[in-house]
Structure 1
């Protein structure tokens, strides 16, 4: 049940939802890039919190270890929680994905406006860990949305005779996804707290 081949097969079964949430994430990036007014203030608040946490971790006795522990548990808990919060008709995973996309878009745009190197930001600061972390978060939100769609289908009485079996299969997929998402985020946290940290400090 928890084999990688099973996880990959499950991803294939929700490919339309994966495509949809990927587009949502990209729209979030665009919204963050062009953010103004209230939207900009919300993102600034998010960024301020991130900066405070980063400073606190950097000042610790073992910064790399502190970053790893925080990044891994923060991302893993949020990702798995988003899968099951999808039971609230999928709204929270969608909002979570949009906000994360907005923060990323705003971060890149504001960094460029301050004259920072796009190469350093993307290749050194985002790509090493982001190539694993971002897809893992997108996958988590896709399964969360699947949960929401199943709730809607259940409320509407769609396919009522096979509903119990469909729910059992969806929870099995969610469990498998949770395990592999945590594994992916574990690898991403190692990279972010070592490779990304060293590149950005250097």
Structure 2
């Protein structure tokens, strides 16, 4: 059930929603750049909250461990919630993807306007852990979107045979979310480890 092959096969089955997740995330990034002026104050306030958390973590006795614990649990809780809150017709995963994309787009754009080298920001601050963290989040959101689609199909399908097939598909899908959750957690452990050490050291340097 938890084999990497099972997970990979499930991803192949869910590849359409993975693509949708990626598109929504990219739309969010573009929106974060284009709407930097009208939404800048709100997005900056979100970044300010994150800075506040960062400052508190830096006061701990073991900064790297504190970062790891915070990043890991923050990402895992959000990712698992996004999968299962997709039951509400996939609305929450859509919002989550667009908002996270907007935060990244706005961060890169606003810092470039302040004279920060974008290439250095991306390579040092986003790329090391983002290579694993972003795909994990996109996968979680894709499962949430799939859950939403299945629920929407259940609402709009009246044929008894089709409804039975949907019931079977829904049961299989819910089983697949357990496998997905396991591997997403593994990916986020690695991402948190990188972000709390390599990314942290690179940014400080």
Report how far residue 155 of structure 1 moved. 0.6
Distance of 2:52 and 2:186 partners within structure 1: 27
Match of 1:186 in 2: 189
Alignment deviations for residues 86-119 of structure 1 (CA, whole Å, 9 cap, x no partner):
0011000110111000000001111111111222
Report how far residue 38 of structure 1 moved. 4.7
TM-score (norm 2): 0.95
Does structure 1 retain, via aligned residues, the 8 Å contact 2:29–2:103? Answer: yes
Alignment deviations for residues 166-192 of structure 1 (CA, whole Å, 9 cap, x no partner):
111110111111110010000000000
Alignment deviations for residues 139-177 of structure 1 (CA, whole Å, 9 cap, x no partner):
100000000000001111262122221111110111111
Cα RMSD of the aligned pairs, angstroms, is: 1.1
Match of 2:104 in 1: 104
Q: Structure 2 unaligned segments of length 5 or more: list them.
A: none
Q: Structure 1 unaligned segments of length 5 or more: list them.
A: none
Pairing 1:136–2:136 present: yes
Pairing 1:172–2:175 present: yes
Report how far residue 60 of structure 1 moved. 1.4
Report how far residue 120 of structure 1 moved. 1.8
Runs of at least 4 residues of structure 1 off by over 6 A? none
Q: 1:160 aligns with which of 155, 159, 163?
A: 163
Distance of 1:36 and 1:100 partners within structure 2: 14
Match of 1:201 in 2: 204
Task: Provide the secondary structure at the position in 2 that maps to 1:2.
Answer: coil
Count of residues in Structure 1 that have an aligned counterpart in Structure 2 = 202
Match of 2:5 in 1: 5
Match of 1:146 in 2: 146
TM-score (norm 1): 0.97
Distance of 2:200 and 2:98 partners within structure 1: 26
Distance of 1:56 and 1:201 partners within structure 2: 16
Pairing 1:113–2:113 present: yes
Distance of 2:109 and 2:38 partners within structure 1: 17
Distance of 2:126 and 2:109 partners within structure 1: 14
